[in-house]
């Protein structure tokens, strides 16, 4: 009886087991079909992939894999028992999720987050540092000292600079002195004047005491003899009769502003005629009545007439005549000289 029951039971179970084996692939296919995802069109899928990074999920466990693991466990269950257990598990197992389960590694990995956009940093202009005033040096820098002789410009050469006195006075110098005595001019000899560095030279100078029989002159008037003779003749022939006619008095004396002096012309490198004793500057005339006629830019009308006549008459006997109005240097005196000029010309202003 017990034998029959077992055999009868086997006949009932074997068909069920066979049916279970047939149902299992179909059920698995049904579940697989149930959870199959409907993919979007290729164009939309490509666009989504380009926009959002995706993480590929790990494949979930399938029923076949579970059956294999059960057979390998070695727990002594028969194939029939395994099928029964699997059917029971299928009944009690919940529906598959829309998304397959992730592996442990996939679950533990953090979700990829979009990188935050760094806000654009606008550079802030830096403040200009305050300019520090340089500290003054303890000692003010001094300009370098100029070497000796620096800044001294040499004079333009003049052939008269090489004139030196001879052992015996030349005949023309002796004759000049004889003419001065005849005019009533008193004078005395003076040693030669010479400055080789500057170029001044008066080989035979004289110091005048008078410029005629009754015409005095300032003390220390040093000239060369030809210039002294020209001044004495001009005073006797022009100035004396003009003073008598215009002012009603005789010429008593001449007050000179400059005679011999070793220097160049103002503002030039050319030697002045004064450097050769060849010029006389007259600042005023003294008359016999004690009045003084001063040379200037605006003399009294009566004096101006006298001075104008003298100035005009001087151009000829002298090669250069300058006075007020010519330039600032000659505003207060008449400059008279015998500078040699081409063709005996004159320069009068």
- The CA distance from 295 to 45, in Å, is 119
Name the residue with higher pLDDT: 140 or 281: 281
**pLDDT score recorded for residue 127:** 59
Question: Span 294-314, mean pLDDT?
Answer: 96
Among 92-101, 151-160, 275-284, whose mean pLDDT is lowest?
Answer: 92-101
How many whole angstroms from its chain centre is CA 295? 52
Cβ-based neighbour number of residue 305 at 10 Å = 14
DSSP alpha helix (H) spans, 39-118: 42-51, 63-72, 79-92, 104-108
Question: Span 140-153, mean pLDDT?
Answer: 48
Is 0.85 surpassed by the pTM of this model?
A: no
Element (H, E) at 245: helix 240-247
Name the residue with higher pLDDT: 91 or 260: 260
**pLDDT score recorded for residue 235:** 98
Confidence of residue 238 (pLDDT cuts 50, 70, 90): very high
**pLDDT score recorded for residue 101:** 52
- DSSP class of residue 149 equals T
Element (H, E) at 7: helix 2-34
**pLDDT score recorded for residue 55:** 46
Confidence of residue 72 (pLDDT cuts 50, 70, 90): very low
**pLDDT score recorded for residue 265:** 85
What's the maximum distance between 2 C-alpha atoms anywhere in the chain? 203
220: left (phi over 0), alpha (psi -120 to 50) or beta: left
| Angle CA 292–296–301, to nearest 5 | 70
Has residue 88 got a pLDDT over 60? Answer: no
Contact 232, 268 (CB under 8 A): no
Confidence of residue 155 (pLDDT cuts 50, 70, 90): confident
Element (H, E) at 257: strand 251-258
What is the domain partition of the chain in residue ranges?
A: 159-348
Per-residue pLDDT of 259-297, as tens digits, reads 999 998 887 889 999 999 999 999 999 999 999 999 999
Question: Span 181-193, mean pLDDT?
Answer: 97
Per-residue pLDDT of 244-263, as tens digits, reads 999 999 999 999 999 999 99
């Amino acid at each position: 009886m017990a034998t029959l029951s077992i055999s009868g039971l086997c006949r009932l179970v074997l068909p069920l087991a066979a049916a279970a084996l047939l149902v299992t692939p179909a059920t698995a296919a049904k579940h697989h079909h149930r959870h199959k995802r409907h993919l979007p069109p290729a164009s939309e899928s490509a666009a989504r992939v380009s926009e959002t990074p995706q993480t590929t999920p790990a494949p979930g466990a399938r029923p076949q894999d579970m059956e294999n693991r059960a057979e390998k466990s070695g727990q002594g269950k028969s194939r029939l028992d395994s099928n029964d257990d699997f059917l029971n598990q299928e009944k009690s197992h919940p529906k598959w999720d829309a998304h397959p389960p992730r592996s442990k590694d996939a679950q533990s990995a953090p979700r990829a987050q979009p990188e935050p956009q760094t806000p654009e940093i606008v550079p802030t202009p830096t403040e200009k540092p305050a300019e520090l005033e340089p500290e003054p040096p303890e000692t003010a820098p001094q300009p370098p000292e100029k070497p000796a002789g620096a800044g001294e410009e040499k004079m333009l050469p003049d052939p008269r600079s090489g004139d030196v006195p001879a052992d015996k006075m030349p005949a023309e110098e002796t004759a000049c002195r004889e003419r001065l005595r005849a005019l009533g001019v008193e004078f005395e000899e003076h040693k030669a004047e010479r400055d080789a560095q500057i170029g001044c030279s008066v080989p035979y100078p004289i110091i005048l005491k008078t410029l005629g029989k009754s015409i005095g002159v300032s003390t220390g008037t040093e000239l060369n003899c030809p210039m002294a003779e020209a001044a004495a003749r001009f005073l006797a022939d022009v100035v004396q009769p003009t003073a008598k006619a215009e002012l009603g008095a005789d010429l008593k004396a001449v007050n000179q502003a400059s005679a011999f002096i070793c220097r160049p012309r103002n503002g030039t490198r050319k030697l002045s005629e004064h450097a050769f004793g060849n010029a006389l500057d007259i600042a005023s005339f003294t008359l016999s009545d004690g009045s003084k006629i001063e040379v200037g830019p605006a003399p009294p009308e009566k004096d101006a007439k006298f001075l104008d006549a003298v100035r005009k008459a001087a151009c000829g006997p002298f090669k250069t005549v300058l006075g007020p109005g010519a330039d600032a240097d000659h505003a207060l005196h008449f400059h008279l000289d015998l500078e040699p000029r081409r063709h005996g010309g004159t320069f009068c202003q």
